[in-house]
Amino acid sequence: MDARKYLVQWLIRYLQNRDLMLKRIKKIEEQGEQVIVEQTDKTTCYYIEPFSSEFIESIQKLESDEFSNKALVVYNTKENFKELLKHWDRLIEIKNLIIFFANPFSRLDKKWMVFPKTHHMISGGEIKEGLNSLFLTVEETTIKEIEKIVSD
């Protein structure tokens, strides 16, 4: 299994578990590097881009996507975090965007999330320290670690 497929499976399990009580998910569909989740009140397109090398491509896809609710799912690596900071000004312009930083193998929390537009409005633009605090709630991982674990 590759790192992207593992992240897709993790996301689907996470979303299904989160929905156990509310039962709002009607359908989950994998479409290549996307997971489309249809709920009773909305549909969200999740782009699965494990590592920072795809980050800018993901932003371009998110900007041109017709879905009103969008998400980007990446591993909690230092490189991905740096890409978040580097492209923050573009990300805050994308409405209804949520970004998941995940490490399914973390002994701490498994994921942290940020809604760029909302977080930017709340923080008044002083975002780096707050984002770093969120980043530290989940153990950092690396491409090498992820590839080793998912290939075993």
What pLDDT is recorded for position 124? 78
Q: How far are the Cα atoms of 4, 16, 55, 92 from residue 7, in angstroms, in the given order?
A: 5, 14, 15, 24
Q: Which domain holds residue 144?
A: 3-151
Contacts 24+ apart (CB under 8 A), 43-46: 43/67, 43/68, 43/69, 44/69, 44/70, 44/71, 45/69, 45/70, 45/71, 46/11, 46/70, 46/71, 46/72, 46/73
Domain count for the chain: 1
Mean pLDDT in each 10-residue stretch from start to end of the chain (152 residues)?
Answer: 94 97 97 94 96 84 90 97 95 96 96 96 86 96 94 80
